[in-house]
Amino acid sequence: MEKQKAPIDHKNAVIRVHGLKKAFGDYEVLRGINLELYQGENLVVLGRSGTGKSVLIKVISGLLQADAGTVEVLGQNIDQLTTRELQALRIRIGFSFQNSALYDSMTVRKNLEFPLVRNRRGIGRKEIDTSVERVLEAVGLAQTINQMPSELSGGQRKRIGIARTLILNPEIMLYDEPTAGLDPITCIEINELINEVQERYKTSSIIITHDLTCAKQTGDRIAMLLDGKFQREGSFEHVFDTDNARIKPFFDYNFIK
């Protein structure tokens, strides 16, 4: 179950976040985040519920606007892009949502086709079908192609959500709690899928979670989000090895080996 060493290019950061702040009303969720995601790396962001993990990746993908700080994705500062440029950039980023966010009025096939049909005008039927089959096979759910999202289990929905982002061959993947609400075995399968995606699609990923198994299994590097800042960062063992009274319970509680 131990993670294989991935080839990471430490000189080449695909995401750079500096001094990022975000507040809702009087509540400061993010209070100065600095983050670098290197080419080819799986970065796990750990944190309790409500610490602003989802807010962080929503800011990175331009869904929310930061109050202060800079966010640079694939060399482009997302605050300074026009709508069109932002759209073009987003196609290169895959976003797997916390609750999958499948379009529930469409079948699995239509869900997977949607990004393709919308972004590659004039694409042929045959090419669409091969792409759909390819990503479905990559997530191991070829048999669900004609089902509606409401007929899928939580784990299947997660996989289809991931497949839908893979169809555009993203360079960066953002996973929002990929294993939340799933049984331990399905969790492990999803973790393996995340590693497979990293290998096969050569993606750099941010994986947001509060599940330590997931962190250990998928992360090349771990960052601990607490009080709106990254408090500890490094290998799993390094982050784990602390006396901080607010971080330690997080690990004791999950006692994994």
Ligand X SMILES: Nc1ncnc2c1ncn2[C@@H]1O[C@H](COP(=O)(O)OP(=O)(O)OP(=O)(O)O)[C@@H](O)[C@H]1O
Alpha helices in 45-107 (DSSP H): 53-60, 83-90
Please state, in angstroms and rounded to a whole number, the distance separating the CA atoms of residues 168 and 92: 7
What is the closest distance, in whole angstroms, from the C-beta atom of residue 256 to ligand X in the complex?
19
- Per CB under 6 A, the list member of 14, 37, 46, 51 interacting with ligand X is 51
Report DSSP state, residue 155.
Answer: H
Residue 50, class by beta-carbon neighbours within 10 Å (0-12 exposed, 13-18 middle, 19+ buried)? Answer: exposed
Please state, in angstroms and rounded to a whole number, the distance separating the CA atoms of residues 17 and 36: 6
Nearer to another protein, 136 or 215 (CB): 136
Residues 191-230 that bind ligand X (CB under 6 A): 210
- Strand, helix or coil at 254? helix
Choose the contact partner of 51 out of ligand X, another protein, Mg ion, none; CB within 5 to 8 A by kind. Answer: ligand X
Choose the contact partner of 165 out of another protein, Mg ion, ligand X, none; CB within 5 to 8 A by kind. Answer: another protein
Q: Minimal CA–CA distance to 171: which of 83, 79, 56, 41?
A: 41
Pairing of strands 93-96, 172-176: parallel
Nearer to another protein, 166 or 224 (CB): 166
- Put the strands of the sheet holding 68-73 in their side by side order: 27-39, 9-24, 68-73, 76-77
49 belongs to the binding site for another protein (CB under 8 A):
no
- Per CB under 6 A, the list member of 15, 29, 59, 174 interacting with ligand X is 29
What is the closest distance, in whole angstroms, from the C-beta atom of residue 57 to Mg ion in the complex?
9
Piece of the chain touching ligand X by CB under 6 A; list 43-51, 85-93, 145-153, 188-196: 43-51
What is the closest distance, in whole angstroms, from the C-beta atom of residue 45 to ligand X in the complex?
9
Choose the contact partner of 122 out of ligand X, Mg ion, another protein, none; CB within 5 to 8 A by kind. Answer: none
- Which residue is closest to ligand X by CB? 54
Length of the chain: 257
| Contact (Cβ atoms closer than 8 angstroms) between residue 179 and residue 209 | yes
- Per CB under 8 A, the list member of 81, 123, 145, 188 interacting with another protein is 81
Instruction: Give the bridge partners for 33, in sequence order.
Output: 20
150 belongs to the binding site for another protein (CB under 8 A):
no
Give the footprint of Mg ion on this chain (CB under 5 A): 54
Report DSSP state, residue 25.
Answer: T
Residues 77-136 that bind ligand X (CB under 6 A): 98
Q: Minimal CA–CA distance to 117: which of 159, 167, 82, 166?
A: 167
Nearer to another protein, 8 or 91 (CB): 91
- Residue numbers of the site for ligand X (CB under 6 A)? 24, 29, 47, 49-55, 98, 210
